[in-house]
Amino acid sequence: MNIILNNESDEVHDGITIEELLDDKKIHTQYIAIEINKKIIPKSSYYKHELKEGDKIEIITAIGGG
Amino acid sequence: MKKLIIDNQEYKSRLILGTGKYKDFEETGKAVEASGCEMVTVAIRRLNIGQDKDSPSLLDVVSPEKFTILPNTAGCYTSEDAVRTCELASELLSGKMLVKLEVLSDSKTLYPNVVETLKASEILVKKGFKVMVYTTDDPVVAKELEKIGCECIMPLGSAIGSGLGIINEFNIREIVENADVPIIVDAGVGTASDACIAMELGCDGVLMNTAIACAKNPILMASAMKHAIEAGSKAYEAGRIEKTLRGVASSPKDGMITDD
């Protein structure tokens, strides 16, 4: 199925969880936050939250800024 | 000197450091250390997916265990975007509610959009955020933001990254004298004397980024800023002399060898 990950289209398997997605993409969970369709998903739900076709996922982090 | 307390925490350092524009994380870390700061700002942005999993993150260099991390809403032009960014920042920082609110009007001037800033402040304060708010040097707006419940008011000295220093000292002084919350000059500092003046005007602190990160020697400038802020702070406490239009002799008039 197709998802939009950080504003780019991506193909993932049906029913993939956030945890599996992060694992596939080799992303550490310590300094990130995730929003799906503009709703924040708490870290404690990553293992059970399944993505759906067309979900818009934003993964953000802290970078240098003033 | 009045203590600087933000979100129930006392800060010895009056300098808040931005972490943007440094050459690399090593330079960021060294500048932060040289500045003696206890609070650093960070921006919230999309993760660069595909980067090396083991490459360090900014927060590995300026650790949340050692520093207060102040996430900003830089780049937001609406209250909605700013609130959304603050909520993401809070999730990112394990539920911390201290944020730097900054809602801009346009990319050319980077001037604060006061209408959107007031709107976002109300929403954020109601949601329980501790808001350090970047705004214009308008004393009326500063007081309104205080009434809304902002933790700290951060008027600009001059435009972000401009290095023009404090353009309207009278307004900054007015804001300071009317305030019951900390006043921190944010933006416009070009060199150490600008930071010193902010403190001499009675501000509680100074937030800066470009003046240090883009100096020829950022680490040396970080140290200069630390000392300038300490000097200005002491000078304010010590109380400056009145200005006079003509000279006033420092040596006694009497006892001169030319006296007959």
**Each residue of B178-235: pLDDT tens digit?**
999 999 999 999 999 999 999 999 999 999 999 999 999 999 999 999 999 999 999 9
* Catalytic choice (B2, B53, B100, B234): B100
d(CA B187, CA B168): 13
Asked whether residue B150 carries a pLDDT value surpassing 90, the answer given is: yes
Asked whether residue B260 carries a pLDDT value surpassing 80, the answer given is: no
The interface pTM score, or ipTM, of the predicted complex is 0.94
d(CA B191, CA B207): 13
Average of per-residue pLDDT across B236-250: 95
pLDDT value for B50: 79
Q: Which of A7, A40, A64 is nearest residue B28 as measured by Cβ atoms?
A: A64
Place B56 in a pLDDT band, splitting at 50, 70 and 90.
Answer: confident
* Strand B184-186 to A32-36 pairing: unpaired
Place B258 in a pLDDT band, splitting at 50, 70 and 90.
Answer: confident
d(CA B55, CA B224): 31
| Interface A-B: count of C-beta contacts within 8 A | 101
Q: How much is the pTM?
A: 0.93
Average of per-residue pLDDT across B142-150: 98
Average of per-residue pLDDT across A10-36: 94
Asked whether residue B54 carries a pLDDT value surpassing 90, the answer given is: no
Average of per-residue pLDDT across B158-162: 95
Q: Which of A5, A27, A33 is nearest residue B92 as measured by Cβ atoms?
A: A33
pLDDT tens per residue across span B188-201: 999 999 999 999 99
Asked whether residue B55 carries a pLDDT value surpassing 80, the answer given is: no
Average of per-residue pLDDT across A20-41: 94
Most confident of B49-63, B130-144, B242-256: B130-144
Closest CA to A62 of B113, B42, B193, B3: B42
Q: Are B130 and B102 in contact (CB under 8 A)?
A: no
Residue recorded with tokens 């804001």: B175
Place B259 in a pLDDT band, splitting at 50, 70 and 90.
Answer: confident
Task: Write out the two tokens for B166.
Answer: 């404090």
Contact between B21 and A64 using a beta-carbon 8 Å cutoff: yes
Asked whether residue B51 carries a pLDDT value surpassing 90, the answer given is: no
Percentage of chain B exceeding pLDDT 70: 99
Average of per-residue pLDDT across A2-18: 95
Contact between A60 and B58 using a beta-carbon 8 Å cutoff: no
Contact between A60 and B21 using a beta-carbon 8 Å cutoff: no
* Shortest CA gap A15–chain B (Å): 21
pLDDT tens per residue across span B121-133: 999 999 999 999 9
Asked whether residue B1 carries a pLDDT value surpassing 80, the answer given is: no
Contact between A62 and B49 using a beta-carbon 8 Å cutoff: no
Give the 3-state secondary structure of residue B14.
coil
Give the 3-state secondary structure of residue A65.
coil
Residues of B in contact with A32 (CB under 8 A): 47, 92
Q: What is the mean pLDDT of chain B?
A: 95
* Shortest CA gap A24–chain B (Å): 10
Q: Which of B20, B46, B160 is nearest residue A64 as measured by Cβ atoms?
A: B20
Interface of A with B (CB under 8 A): 5-7, 25-28, 30-35, 38, 40, 42-43, 58-66
pLDDT tens per residue across span B70-105: 999 999 999 999 999 999 999 999 999 999 999 999
Q: Is B100 a catalytic residue?
A: yes
Contact between A63 and B43 using a beta-carbon 8 Å cutoff: yes
